[in-house]
Amino acid sequence: MKKILVTGANGFIAKHIILELLKKNYKVKGTVRNLSYSNTIESDIKKHFNSNFDIEFCEASLDSEMGWNEAVSGCDVILHTASPFPQKKPKNEIDLINPAKEGTLRVLNAAQQNSVERVIITSSNAAVYDGNKHITEFDEKNWTNIDANGVSAYTKSKTIAEKAAWDFVSKNSSIKLSTINPVLVWGPALGNHSNSTSLIICRMLMNKEMPMIPRMKVPLVDVRDVAKAHVSSIENNNSIGNRFLLCENTYWMKDISLKMKKMGYNSPIIVAPDFLIKFLSNFDSTLKEASSKLGYNYSIKSNLAKNILGFDPIKVEKTIEDTCIYLKNLKSNR
């Protein structure tokens, strides 16, 4: 059975990928920035996997050459999920962009040096649709316009890192690359991911941490579907050379909040006037990107993922419900 390397093995998406790989009897190796994370990862997965399993861990960081050759050695496939994501806005956007790009290239170089031909990178819809407000329907052919106003450093980092990966393989044809580009990922995490940036909007809506809702759309996909798509990409050679957008659908934030309201949560239902969000964005950097998307009505198509990877997304109501239950239980267990 193939051995799969999962980079950033303690991540929200990565743990679900590892669980799916174990269910299919793959051998799994994971990279972590510190080996002290390994016990927590194993413990979190054990709660959802009945059989005994063995995961090999090694230390490797995106900002260092150390450890990558050892990590990649003996593996058949690399699932590169690791990516820097700041808890706060970096003082200089290059401090986020460079580690993402250079980290991706480190993984690809290690793959090439160790004759690992198959690499699947977890990218993002952030590399697809930002800065393109003239477009209302997106698919894998689209790329984010990093020069547009309101494009965040994180969005630029994902776009530049993915483009660097495709450029690398165009010059090194031995590597067979695919990228998985999920939209905003919700769903129940394995273990404590209360600080996951993916789940911040859900937490804020279910707990009414924002009194009013911006007039903006949010694209959603379930983490369990994202994990399955990664494994499907390993098993389907037709995925080679392709990007795969993963999106259940796009929703106005008010509609998401109303769904939560029906589930019994104290969610806000009043939509904030656009001028108020724009004004507040001058004082709150987290609203800066939101203000550039106010009223923007768009859709994201996942036809390629459906046709090649068998992507059959979990309905958003279940994703919302399971995410809220997870966050509620996490809060009560503190």
| 79 and 92 Cβ atoms separated by less than 8 Å | no
Is there a catalytic annotation at residue 158?
A: yes
The strand pair at 55-59 and 77-80 is best described as unpaired
Annotated catalytic residue: which of 158, 254, 259, 293? Answer: 158
SS (H, E, C) the chain: CCEEEEECCCCHHHHHHHHHHHHCCCEEEEEECCHHHHHHHHHHHHCCCCCCCCEEEEECCCCCCCCHHHHHCCCCEEEECCCCCCCCCCCCCHHHHHHHHHHHHHHHHHHHHCCCCEEEEECCHHHCCCCCCCCCEECCCCCCCCCCCCCCHHHHHHHHHHHHHHHHHHHCCCCEEEEEEECEEECCCCCCCCCCHHHHHHHHHHCCCCCCECCCEEEEEEHHHHHHHHHHHHHCHHHCCCEEEECCEEEEHHHHHHHHHHCCCCCCCCECCHHHHHHHCCCCCHHHHHHCCCCCCCEECCHHHHHHHCCCCCCHHHHHHHHHHHHHHHHHCC
**Phi, psi of 92, deg, nearest 5:** -130, 125
Residue whose entry in the numeric block shows the structure tokens 């759309």: 217
CA distance 154 to 146: 10
- Cα distances (Å, whole numbers) of residue 123 to 120, 183, 191, 268: 9, 10, 23, 31
- List the catalytic residues: 158
